[in-house]
Chains A and B, each alone.
Chain A
């Protein structure tokens, strides 16, 4: 039983990171109706900016208490990645806004490959150790469960960011504009919404969350490389579809489901005759199942294409 709870907790931590990335997919899909393939790579860049920042001002950061330095690193790389997300949108996606969606999808794949391979040129293809921004000490609590400080911080940060996002989307004017745009772009323009600004904002917000996800992920698995974003990115996309793409709480829920399922397969698959290596494929099997049985996702609305 203890072991089960432990696995469940591990899945929860893993899933909360997927949830952070999934939010970016879902928001961009909500406003632009396309899959931003490059999202997983912004996640990777988040981790690398944190590493660079740590190299650049290591002594200063070390002199501060770790929560402060973590906060600084998080904020700086989130800002940088937000700027990058906005630049990507302006250069690659904006010229294609009225083109067929297939073209945009191909561009997104191109952007994704571009970021991966330029990162490989810049940082090298080898794995790099990620600094311990969060102490790696374990808190062993009553039930015999082990939880590290890093895991707790990951969960707390994720929840805080989710709450923040919820407030932005539901309570601010920009959030209102985002929702209007997602409902009907033409009507929102007529109501005085500047669609371009809202789209840029959405990209920035999504990329910032991806950067945070990257840093948290690298804190749990402290080894980073230019292609580290592909797998989590794909899984987070599956999470977004699972929860109902375009739906923000759905993305969070989907992320948690994927994280927990994956960890459980890793932990218990052996007993059922499934090699633990199959856990990598679990997300995609879930994706095919959800698309067959409920393509709109768990919380999504059924959308009929109008002629």
Chain B
């Protein structure tokens, strides 16, 4: 029984989110919206944490992968799902859900492929170069999307409109739970000891026989995949997306969550994602001070407490016993 605790927790969370999703009509729409934002930010932050925190590869382009996923999933939904419907036995809960799942996966896979393409050359480089390359990649994605034709599938600078609002509480939190589960098991597995090894000392890890490039690329691709999924969820929640919404300030937002939560601490990052998203929502009136406060926090944190705001919980960072 004890062996399967995490799997059972995963199952419970997924079922719970399904339950809440079914009852979602009973909750206030505004709070539901905040909850969905929280979920999407959890996916983004936990997946970025795998790259930045656990593997120590500082990426500043998470929004780019989110954009790729958002566009991939939206285009799939807009272009393909009408054609898929008859094959799945007409529009129904199952067919719509299946088509949405396919769209999300397409978005996630597109993002993962992009992650691989960017990661392969750039992960051979030292940390700060990677930060700039990913930041550059973010800009490249934005520039390309912005310069597509306005009436093509990508929608040009105005982006895509009229994406069906398929994102529900269930999808967001089921995927968030899966993301936490996958990242958590990757990192705490025997294989996964390689991630912190690469982070702590790449040369030493390499000389112990760890294929450092492969670990880095694995982290990068998995991180990009989940960023892509969150992009798909975001697109089907907001129903409109534009290239400007995925600029590097969006990447910085995720980076701030990861750093405040504590790089490499999954629990800390989840809490940070919740707290910061909710705070953002309630401090909308002070929007102009938000980034100012975040930036000061970043600087002070790095000087005073680089390991994140939370103390580390030994229970949550459970080691495998026996």
- Tell me if A106 and B144 are in contact (CB < 8 A): no
Closest Cβ of chain B to A246, distance in Å, is 12
Cα–Cα distance between A91 and B289 once the two chains are bound (Å): 21
Chain B hits for A105, CB < 8 A: 58, 127-128, 131
- Tell me if A288 and B302 are in contact (CB < 8 A): no
Residue interface bits B117-132, CB-to-A below 8 A is 1, else 0: 0100110111111011
Q: Among B129, B137, B303, B306, which residue has its beta carbon within 8 angstroms of that of A284?
A: B137
Tell yes or no: B259 within 8 A of A by CB.
yes
Which of A10-18, A78-86, A114-122 touches B? A114-122
Chain B hits for A109, CB < 8 A: 60, 252, 255, 298
Closest Cβ of chain A to B42, distance in Å, is 21
Chain A hits for B188, CB < 8 A: none
Q: Among A110, A111, A292, which residue has its beta carbon within 8 angstroms of that of B121?
A: A292
Residue interface bits B261-293, CB-to-A below 8 A is 1, else 0: 000000000000000000000000000110110
Chain A hits for B198, CB < 8 A: none
Chain A positions within 8 Å of B, measured between CB atoms, are 34-35, 92, 95-96, 99-107, 109-114, 116-118, 120-121, 234, 237-238, 241, 275, 277-278, 280-281, 283-285, 287-288, 291-292, 295, 305, 307
> Do A114 and B296 form a contact, CB below 8 Å, given A96-B302, A109-B255, A241-B129?
yes
> Do A113 and B252 form a contact, CB below 8 Å, given A287-B136, A288-B121?
yes
B interface SS class: helix
A interface SS class: helix
Interchain residue pairs A-B with the least CB separation, the first 10: A110-B298, A284-B136, A113-B295, A114-B295, A281-B143, A277-B147, A110-B299, A292-B121, A107-B302, A117-B292
Closest to A227 in B: B249
Chain B hits for A100, CB < 8 A: 306
Cα–Cα distance between A291 and B123 once the two chains are bound (Å): 10
Cα–Cα distance between A105 and B204 once the two chains are bound (Å): 22
Tell yes or no: B203 within 8 A of A by CB.
yes
Closest to B300 in A: A110
- Tell me if A110 and B295 are in contact (CB < 8 A): yes
Known: A106-B255, A117-B292. 9 other contacts (CB 8 A): A99-B306, A106-B58, A106-B298, A114-B292, A121-B289, A234-B132, A234-B139, A288-B133, A288-B137
- Tell me if B298 and A113 are in contact (CB < 8 A): yes
Closest to A95 in B: B303
- Tell me if B58 and A121 are in contact (CB < 8 A): no
- Tell me if A285 and B140 are in contact (CB < 8 A): yes
Chain A hits for B240, CB < 8 A: none
Cα–Cα distance between A121 and B259 once the two chains are bound (Å): 25
Chain B hits for A241, CB < 8 A: 129, 132
Residue interface bits B70-87, CB-to-A below 8 A is 1, else 0: 000000000000000000
